[in-house]
Amino acid sequence: MKEQGDLNDLCNLLHNCQMRRMKQRDDAFPHYHFRPPTNWINDPNGVIQWNGRYHLFYQHNPFGALWGNMHWGHAVSDDLVHWEHLPLALAPTEGDFDEYGCFSGGIVDNDGVPTMIYTGTQAAPLGAMPYTQHANIATSQDDLTTWQKFAGNPIIRPPHPKTLIGFRDHNVWRNGDHWLHIIGSGVQDVGPTAFLYRSDDLYEWEPLGKLYQNDGLYFGDEFVGSMWECPQLLDFGRKQALIIGASHNDSTVHTSYLIGTMVGDRFHPEAAYRLDYGNRYFYAAQSLIDDMGRTIMWGWIPEARDDELCVAAGWSGVMSLPCVVTLGEDDRLRFAVAEEVRQLRRERFGVEQLSAVQSDCFEIVAEFEGNERVEIGVRVSAENQERTTIFYDPESQTLGIDRSQSRRDGDGHDLSLLTGRISAENRLHLHIFVDASVIEVFANKVAVIIGRVYPDAEGLGVRLKSADAALHQFELWTLDSIWH
């Protein structure tokens, strides 16, 4: 135990030193969004509340700022906001079933034994998928800190590997006296697919066929891709939501959700919606249900700058803020950043004090008449040459993040416009989070846009353009860093 404690202290010391170095050299580094101090991070994995503490695992390359060598990183929090880095939880084993990488998965409580189900990947014979993917198990005896891989891995192999586009990512939950398990996949020339399995003990799995397979690339007007990454079924009682990472031609496209009902072993979707309109800037969502019964979701926010720039910066990827997900009466999901994040609030600015704001680390809570155009400029440079504009246009019912002026030199950066559709009807309620290069926008809790910007000037100003009469509420709070 002592050794483990020393290891954790060392981990945090290293983190703080690296953090100080990062801050000196990179204004894009977030202050209150979780990420490890250096290198690459992608999907949230195995999110779980264990003995009251929130555990966040994540896809991590400990050796570089680009994707590769997939390990599971690990952090823990008592309040969902401040995180403590813990030692790496999982590493690929050479010559074994996860030699090519330990991909995404989940953790469940198996009668007091923390049990992780993850995708092991291995170089495949020619002619098959570039690498084989299968389900593996590991358990922990020391409160989720170290993990022992099961000697009988893999526990599930792909059913018909030649026709599948991927077979990975695991959503496992207890259902009465057995376990259910969804695996993301796609069947070539047919459509994206979520496979369903059932088990009494988490080790022996019986295939139950397809939880749901979409016919083609679209559900109604919603593009759902050819393969689903990180599918997760959320149960809201009268309806269920299948959250999916829409992947196509090996690229992450966006995150959507299908609303429907489970009948026996099959999901019957009725409608599909975009979970986040920022395209690929929110991906691989994963949620836990905490002791208060809240469904709390995180997702991976990738960079919007070239690999070369990420390598130069020494890091890539950010975790989204913890978000509470509920089902609205209209059978669409509602997204609200967890209340705990309020504890970061430091100084309040009303609308009349806006010109005094100099910050890249704040939150805005505002409400407007739904029929007026609104523009909020953030990361605005002193001479206004650089700015990022969050806007709502009632005529086209468009919510957007305009990044075209977010930096003068666009080389190597994605400055494209991010837009979503929302009918604000009476009122438009905006909740906006700005954290160095990360922007999260929530409109009426229904439409979310997450994006990234990298101003090259200081860009600490905030501007508001809206008719006075249209403004019902506006407050800006500067926020503290989550790293002490």
Q: What residues are labeled active site?
A: 43
Q: How far is CA 408 from the centre of its chain?
A: 29
Q: Does 40 bind ligand FRU (CB under 6 A)?
A: no
Provide the minimum distance between the beta carbon of 356 and ligand FRU in the complex, in angstroms, as a whole number.
41
Interface characters, 245-274, with ligand FRU (x: CB under 6 A): x------x----------------------
Q: Does 43 bind ligand FRU (CB under 6 A)?
A: yes
Nearer to ligand FRU among residue 36 and residue 245 (C-beta): 245
Helices (H), 78-212: none
Q: 312: how many CB neighbours lie within 10 A of its CB?
A: 13
Within residues 49-88, the interface with ligand FRU by CB under 6 A covers 59, 70
The C-alpha atoms of residue 368 and residue 471 are separated, in whole angstroms, by 5
Provide the minimum distance between the beta carbon of 45 and ligand FRU in the complex, in angstroms, as a whole number.
8
Q: Which residue has the tokens 């590493």?
A: 91
Candidates 83, 179, 267, 283; binder of ligand FRU (CB under 6 A) is 283
Residues with Cβ < 8 Å from 235, sequence gap 6 or more? 262
Provide the minimum distance between the beta carbon of 133 and ligand FRU in the complex, in angstroms, as a whole number.
8
Nearer to ligand FRU among residue 244 and residue 438 (C-beta): 244
Q: Which residue is nearest to ligand FRU (CB)?
A: 103
CB burial of 315-331 (b: ≥16 within 10 Å; e: otherwise) equals: bbbbbbbbbbbebeeee
Candidates 38, 104, 132, 444; binder of ligand FRU (CB under 6 A) is 104
What are the angstrom distances between the C-alpha of 264 and each of 53, 184, 238, 451?
Answer: 34, 19, 15, 39
Q: Does 153 bind ligand FRU (CB under 6 A)?
A: no
Q: Does 155 bind ligand FRU (CB under 6 A)?
A: no
Cβ atoms of 140 and 147 within 8 Å: the answer is: yes
Interface characters, 173-212, with ligand FRU (x: CB under 6 A): ----------------------------------------
- Count of residues that interact with ligand FRU, criterion CB under 6 A: 15
Q: Does 405 bind ligand FRU (CB under 6 A)?
A: no
Judged on CB neighbours under 10 Å (0-12, 13-18, 19+), 188 is exposed
Provide the minimum distance between the beta carbon of 309 and ligand FRU in the complex, in angstroms, as a whole number.
20
Nearer to ligand FRU among residue 42 and residue 389 (C-beta): 42
Nearer to ligand FRU among residue 213 and residue 247 (C-beta): 247
Q: Which residue has the tokens 């504890």?
A: 343
Cβ atoms of 153 and 137 within 8 Å: the answer is: yes
Nearer to ligand FRU among residue 184 and residue 451 (C-beta): 184
Nearer to ligand FRU among residue 166 and residue 269 (C-beta): 166
The C-alpha atoms of residue 85 and residue 10 are separated, in whole angstroms, by 10
Candidates 134, 192, 229, 301; binder of ligand FRU (CB under 6 A) is 229
Residues with Cβ < 8 Å from 272, sequence gap 6 or more? 219, 220, 222, 224, 256, 257, 258, 259
Provide the minimum distance between the beta carbon of 108 and ligand FRU in the complex, in angstroms, as a whole number.
17
Candidates 38, 77, 115, 119; binder of ligand FRU (CB under 6 A) is 119
Residues with Cβ < 8 Å from 193, sequence gap 6 or more? 185, 186, 187, 210, 212, 213, 214, 228
Nearer to ligand FRU among residue 119 and residue 466 (C-beta): 119
Provide the minimum distance between the beta carbon of 483 and ligand FRU in the complex, in angstroms, as a whole number.
25
Q: Starting at the edge strand that comes first in sequence, how are the strands of the sheet with 461-465 ordered? A: 418-421, 398-402, 388-393, 374-380, 461-465
What is the dihedral sign for C-alpha 310, 74, 21, 344? positive
As a residue count, the chain comes to 484
Candidates 168, 170, 274, 294; binder of ligand FRU (CB under 6 A) is 168
Q: Does 169 bind ligand FRU (CB under 6 A)?
A: yes
Nearer to ligand FRU among residue 245 and residue 370 (C-beta): 245
Binding site for ligand FRU (CB under 6 A): 42-43, 59, 70, 103-104, 119, 168-169, 229-230, 245, 252, 283-284
